[in-house]
A and B are shown apart, each in its own frame.
Chain A
Amino acid sequence: MTAERRGLRWLLASLALQNLGRRKARSFLLIAAVAVASGVVFTGATLMRSIDRSMAVGFTRMGADMMVVPEGALTNITAALLTVEPTDLVLDADLFAKAQLTSVSRAAPQKIARVEHSGIGSHHESADLIGFDPALDFTIQPWLVEKLNRDLQPGDVILGAGREAPLGSQLLIFGKPHTVYGRLGKTGVGTHERGVFMAFGTLDALAMSMGGHGGGSPPAVLQPGKVSGFLVELAPGAAPLQARFAILSTLKGVKVVTGDSTMSGIRQGLAALLDGILALMVLMFASTALMICVLFSAIVTERRGELGLLKAIGARRSQIVGMMVIEAVIATGIGGALGVVLGTLVMRFYERSLVYYLENVGVPFLWLDTPRMVAVAVGAIVLATIIGALGALYPAWRASRSDPYDLVRGEG
């Protein structure tokens, strides 16, 4: 109605819009097809990135594929985490560095000392002091839910989820001041829940103070160079059984503890699922682009007369192509947006069961944060319009090459 004021672009765009309205059923099907594709891409990408992030956090939390401890040590295995129970047995801290096992990609040493009268918590409470090597650790730091805005320093401690103390506050351990550097999320593992974590150096430095408190000699594990055990991550592709054998035959006086073997199966399964989703998305993209190309070839053929007429009254090729592309972009843009809405509804609908399932298998599910979700949504819509533009471009460009007379006559 307002081409008088808005000019040619508006006129061509409204022409495109009205052309869509002319074949309502066909436009509806086109929009529906694009909506399905964009919905799949949107939900796929969102779930993929969410699961990816959850796995990145979750599996490094679970982290270790196996644990190497002194023969005779007690161990605690849960679905979520392998921990070493405090004992007096120790191993050398450089055990793995020396052995150079090809089937092991990472081995994080840990020291665990169970102490009483430390000044942490109530008077008789025993507390687990857990030492780790910040450079090698891959099972503790991923649990950090909040931390000071700097690197871990000597004298810093990290508290398990079960302990309350503000970040940056002072904590006296055996009379020595420590700074609360960070707090872990809920692990579901008792020793960790109420544990106090610190770098090896910080823990070793406590040995002196412990002795001074009349508790007898400090635990053996607090000697520099000694650890309670190692959390081991296998090299990609390494078979657990062979790795276990290699470790036992190379390192003396150790015991190998493996976690729940179904875990690694699920881990692999999820990775395969993500690859599958990715392949599906690529296929979806390609087939939608082809479908739109075919559809627009038909639309262009059907409209040769009008395109010829436009050329005859002086429309340039770019204007003809532009008009068809706008038409496609409007349709696929609507379809894309619709797909995002549908995808969101579907995800909301299945959120409970999905999150429940994942958490059941030990993956704490983390949704993408809103800005990222919006970015994925915008990405899906833009992708849809790009597919539309590309799909319409070729047939429109081909038709625009013909002589107007051939177009209006229905030939060429």
Chain B
Amino acid sequence: MLSCLGLRKDYVTERGAVAAVAGIDLQVAAGRFAAIIGRSGSGKSSLMAMIGGLSRPSAGSVVVNGTDIWDLTENELAAFRNRRIGYVFQFASLLPTLRLIDNVALPAMLSRGPGRNGDAGDTYARASALLAQMGLGDHLDAYPSEVSAGEQRRAVIARALINDPAMILADEPTSDLDEQTEIEIMDELLAVNRERGTTLILVTHNLALAEQAEQIIHIARGEIVE
């Protein structure tokens, strides 16, 4: 269960302060599929970043399962990003010098840490299963530059799932893909939401897609509009 209260994000620029998110209250129940829509520049990405623990709010709170994530310490917040959130960015977001399998395994490796319990072999087995599930079973050892944009995005989804997060945050994950690939990627995300019960918050311009959501959040100029 996610709840935001009085959430604000002000950017200080040369031309003065920009209120990218200007006071948003919002709740998303666990396991839901929520769509965020709104024009470009309306503050969707800023909102998602605050929910995902990537950008500190200027004011307000983000409470996930009873914990205000912005009250956590630096390391606790890192653990929150690592365990609870799977983030799918608007842009290519794989590390170019790592193979797909390493990219996917990385979040799990980070939280295992050196010396912690758990077997790296296990992690890699899971990573390769996830990649196979995303149709990339033949590309485990490929580097990101060696596969298509759509395949890269699938690998990102696999990475988002490696720690079995409670919530997937996808910020226009298909904006740079062709229509057919977009449909395939969206199907993967919806399947994850349905089959695993993972909360899915999706920013999209695709209204047909948003219609499928259980909850639609419409944002304009940093505020929720009905």
Contacts and interface: CB of A to CB of B under 8 A. Distances in A.
Interface of A: 3-9, 11, 15, 18-19, 21-22, 306, 309-317, 319, 403-406, 408
B97 A19 contact: yes
Interface string B46-68: 10010010111000000000000
B102 A11 contact: yes
Contacts of B95: 15, 306, 309-310
B114 A8 contact: yes
B54 A404 contact: yes
A304 to B, nearest CB: 13
B120 A5 contact: yes
Nearest to B52: A312
Contacts of B82: 313-315
A18 B145 CA distance: 15
A205 to B, nearest CB: 74
Interface size classification for chain B? 35 or more
Given A4-B121, A4-B124, A22-B97, A313 B159 contact: yes
A316 B75 contact: yes
B107 A314 contact: yes
B114 A7 contact: yes
A309 B81 CA distance: 11
B191 interface: no
Given A11-B106, A311-B78, A405 B112 contact: no
Which of B49, B97, B98, B112 has the largest number of chain A CB atoms within 10 A? Answer: B97
Given A4-B121, A405-B55, A314 B111 contact: yes
Interface in B87-106: 87, 89, 91, 93, 95, 97-98, 102, 105-106
Contact of A8 (B52, B79, B89, B110): B110
B203 interface: no
Contacts of B114: 7-9
B74 interface: yes
B135 interface: no
SS class, residues of chain A in contact with chain B = helix
Contacts of B120: 3-8
B109 A3 contact: yes
B188 to A, nearest CB: 19
A311 B98 CA distance: 16
Nearest to B86: A313
B159 A5 contact: no
A315 B110 contact: yes
A8 B118 CA distance: 12
Which of A6, A22, A306 has the largest number of chain B CB atoms within 10 A? Answer: A306
B41 interface: no
B161 to A, nearest CB: 12
B79 A314 contact: yes
B8 interface: no
Which of A15, A18, A309 has the largest number of chain B CB atoms within 10 A? Answer: A309
B111 A403 contact: no
A68 to B, nearest CB: 72
Contacts of B109: 3, 7-8, 11
Contacts of B81: 311-314, 404
A319 B107 CA distance: 12
Interface string B146-173: 0000000000000100010000000000
B44 interface: no
Given A8-B109, A18-B97, A312 B54 contact: yes
A405 B49 contact: yes
Nearest to B11: A411
A403 B78 contact: no
Contacts of B113: 8
A408 B89 contact: yes
Contacts of A311: 54, 78, 81
A309 B74 contact: no
Contacts of A316: 74-75, 78, 110
Contacts of A309: 89, 93, 95
Contacts of B87: 312-313
10 contacts: A7-B109, A8-B114, A21-B97, A312-B54, A312-B87, A314-B78, A314-B83, A314-B110, A405-B49, A405-B55
Which of A306, A312, A317, A404 has the largest number of chain B CB atoms within 10 A? Answer: A312
A314 B87 CA distance: 11
Contacts of B89: 309, 312, 408
B107 A313 contact: yes
Contacts of A19: 97
Which of B56, B102, B121, B159 has the largest number of chain A CB atoms within 10 A? Answer: B102
Nearest to B49: A405
Contacts of A7: 109, 112, 114, 120
B54 to A, nearest CB: 4
Contacts of A408: 54, 89, 91, 93
Which of B56, B81, B106 has the largest number of chain A CB atoms within 10 A? Answer: B106
A403 B46 CA distance: 12
Contacts of A406: 55
A5 B123 CA distance: 10
B78 A8 contact: no
A405 B70 CA distance: 14
Given A7-B120, A11-B106, 13 more contacts: A3-B102, A8-B110, A21-B97, A309-B89, A313-B87, A313-B106, A313-B159, A314-B78, A314-B163, A317-B74, A405-B49, A408-B91, A408-B93
Interface in B27-59: 46, 49, 52, 54-56
Interface string B171-191: 000000000000000000000
Contacts of A8: 109-110, 112-114, 120
B107 to A, nearest CB: 4
Interface string B118-150: 001100100000000000000000000000000
A403 B107 contact: no
